[in-house]
Structure 1
Amino acid sequence: MSASRQTASGRQLHHPDRDEIQLEAVLSALADPVRLRIVRALAQGHDDMACIAFDLPVSKSTSTHHFRVLREAGVIRQHYEGTSRLSRLREEDLEARMPGLLTAVLNAEGA
């Protein structure tokens, strides 16, 4: 069963449960340079970053797509705070499902 988070305003965002996160979806999400850039920024200790805080070389609609792909793959968790959608890396969930994968991807990117 998939998890959704409902906010006070009634907006819901789909997030897969930890046991629903699939390797293929995570690897596909991380294969895109823009999405990898988002993950790197979140991995640098920036929890709950608003989508507008990322300096991405794409349009707002394309940016929204990239965040959705990451969220639906289980790489990030998002929630609304007022009118802002905040993002957080699901490090613990990814480590539990795929030990060492996120670290390896981030280390390879930095090399």
Structure 2
Amino acid sequence: MARTLPQPPREALEIVTLLQALADPVRLELVRALRDGDGPCPCGLEAYDVDISAPTLSHHWRVLREAGVTTTFTEGRKRWVELRTEDVHARFPGLLDAILTRP
């Protein structure tokens, strides 16, 4: 049975917090990878093309989760992450599309 880590509810999402979380180039790349994936993705380094350490990746996942951009859940010893597309879109329509579209 999966356990979801703490995250803000949809109605508590704040645009400034979301934009701060997405302002970091590494976090932006992680979110793009999630958007391009099919369903929940593993939290491990091997799944992403980023040149950072495992503790730094964990920090980035935490910032994204606490901002309300992602949901992280555990199944046994594995952690999975996915975008909260519906929640972000409900609060800020078009925001993710505008930020994640590459120029």
Q: Deviations over 1:64-92 (max 9, x none)?
A: 00000000000000100121110000000
Aligned with 2:72: secondary structure?
Answer: strand
Identify the structure with the greater strand proportion.
Answer: 1
TM-score norm. by structure 1 comes to 0.85
Aligned to 2:24: 32
Runs of 5+ in structure 2 lacking a partner? none
Aligned to 2:84: 90
2:15 aligned with 1:19, yes or no? no
Q: Deviations over 1:27-70 (max 9, x none)?
A: 00000011001100011133211111223211111100000000
Aligned to 2:62: 68
TM-score norm. by structure 2 comes to 0.91
Percent same amino acid among aligned pairs? 47
2:95 aligned with 1:101, yes or no? yes
Runs (4+) of structure 1 exceeding 4 A deviation are none
Once the two structures are superposed, the pairs formed by residues 50-69 of structure 1 within 5 Å of their partners are 50-52=42-44, 53-69=47-63
The 10-residue stretch of structure 1 (42-51 or 76-85) with the greater mean CA deviation from structure 2: 42-51
Aligned to 2:71: 77
